[in-house]
Amino acid sequence: MAFGVFIHRADSIYKDTPAEQYQFPSQYLTRATQFIGDWIVYYEPRKVPNSHGYFAVAKVSDIVADRTSPGMFLALIEPGSYLEFANSVPFQGDEGITETGLLNEVGRISGRAQAAVRPLSAHDFARIISLGVSEPEILPRTDDAFAGFSEQQQAPFVGEEQERVRADILTSRIVRDRAFRRVVLRAYGERCAVTGLKLINGGGRAEVAAAHIRPVERNGPDMVNNGVALSGTVHWMFGRGLITFSDDLEIVVSRHVNDRDGVAGLINKTGRLMGPLAGRDRPHPAFLGWHRENIFKR
């Protein structure tokens, strides 16, 4: 097993669904096979406008031939493993190149940087994960698991065994929920998408939740396209199927609501979700459709 990098761009011509599968040509098969049962990091090239850099991590469960495209293969992603980073990690920062394994013997970036599928050292993997999911110092920390990432930014790496222990932290629900919250709240400007309210408490924390459209316990991924920012009451209603959203983001109220006037007063004047701020962060129709079919009370 080995860590790896998959290059992916939002406008990819390949049949990529980052939380589910990654398509690649046969030339990368031997290399990609090494990643089965281990973690990969997704990277968006610098030449892409507003590139997200290293933007997510996921675990490869298997690799199969793509029967619909001769010569192509699919890396299947383990359900529940995909996690978008709270912080996009740049290819190169103040301290130099992030993926140090791409440097050649004279310290220059080698041609390996062009490979869509490439191995990643345990050292570089741990560093990218640390930068991607660590929290700003201004936010409170309530769990020891997250503190490990903070410490890693100052401490030297001591070997692959330690890096694999840190990789195990990616399965922590606390870590994943914190990262998901930051991704979703940033996408919606810390504003409830239904009411339009942006309320900040005395500690500087937004009083809004990051709701999964398709819940984690029902195989919903931790990605911004499966999330929406909702205030407390609205979140409760959404989870119980009293409201849902159409594919064009219209807010739909269930006929089971017993106080329709009150609910109508909560909805912003447009009758549609407010946000997200970037089009690429919009809720995906597949998740919206799942919520309408499985949660919403018609």
16 and 103 housed in the same domain: yes
Q: Please identify, among 118, 136, 171, the residue that sits at the C-terminal boundary of a domain.
A: 171
Q: Please identify, among 128, 151, 171, the residue that sits at the C-terminal boundary of a domain.
A: 171
Each as own residue / partner, the long-range contacts of residues 16-21 (CB below 8 Å, 24 or more positions apart, any chain) are 18/42, 18/56, 18/58, 18/77, 18/82, 18/223, 19/58, 19/77, 19/82, 19/221, 19/223, 19/226, 20/76, 20/77, 21/74, 21/75, 21/76, 21/77
Whether residue 156 is predicted with pLDDT greater than 50 in this model: the reply is no
190 and 232 housed in the same domain: yes
Domain count, the chain: 2
18 and 126 housed in the same domain: yes
74 and 149 housed in the same domain: yes
Does the N-terminal peptide bond of residue 18 adopt cis geometry, omega within 30 degrees of 0? no
22 close to 116: Cβ distance less than 8 angstroms:
no
42 and 104 housed in the same domain: yes
* Stretch 174-202: mean pLDDT: 91
70 and 217 housed in the same domain: no
Nearest to 204 by CA among 232, 176, 185, 228: 185
Euclidean distance between CA atoms 95 and 254, whole angstroms: 53
20 and 164 housed in the same domain: yes
56 close to 85: Cβ distance less than 8 angstroms:
yes
Question: What range does the domain containing 239 cover?
Answer: 179-294
Residue 288 has what pLDDT?
97
144 and 217 housed in the same domain: no
* Torsion angle in degrees (nearest 10) through CA of 280, 282, 287, 293: -150
Nearest to 286 by CA among 278, 297, 294: 294
* Torsion angle in degrees (nearest 10) through CA of 123, 39, 51, 7: 110
* Stretch 276-283: mean pLDDT: 89
Whether residue 34 is predicted with pLDDT greater than 60 in this model: the reply is yes
Which residues, in sequence order, are bridge partners of residue 272? 250
80 close to 126: Cβ distance less than 8 angstroms:
no
Residue 144 has what pLDDT?
42
163 and 84 housed in the same domain: yes
Euclidean distance between CA atoms 193 and 282, whole angstroms: 11
Average pLDDT, the chain: 87
Euclidean distance between CA atoms 200 and 202, whole angstroms: 7
Q: Please identify, among 171, 200, 218, the residue that sits at the C-terminal boundary of a domain.
A: 171
Nearest to 194 by CA among 227, 241, 243: 243
pLDDT tens for 226-272 read 999 999 999 999 999 999 999 999 999 999 999 999 999 999 999 99
Query: Per mean pLDDT, which range of 50-54, 85-89, 287-291 is the poorest?
Result: 50-54
93 and 204 housed in the same domain: no
Whether residue 84 is predicted with pLDDT greater than 80 in this model: the reply is yes
The token pair that represents 254 in the structure block: 């269930």
Residue 282 has what pLDDT?
94
Residue 110 has what pLDDT?
86
27 and 157 housed in the same domain: yes
Q: What is the DSSP string of 252-295?
A: EE-TT-S-HHHHHHHS-TTSB----SSGGGSPPHHHHHHHHHHT
State the pLDDT confidence band at 149, using cuts at 50, 70 and 90: very low
Nearest to 23 by CA among 68, 90, 82: 68
Residue 107 has what pLDDT?
82
Pair type for strands 39-43 and 3-7: parallel
* Stretch 158-181: mean pLDDT: 75
96 and 145 housed in the same domain: yes
CATH of the domain at 60: 3.10.590.10
Euclidean distance between CA atoms 80 and 58, whole angstroms: 9
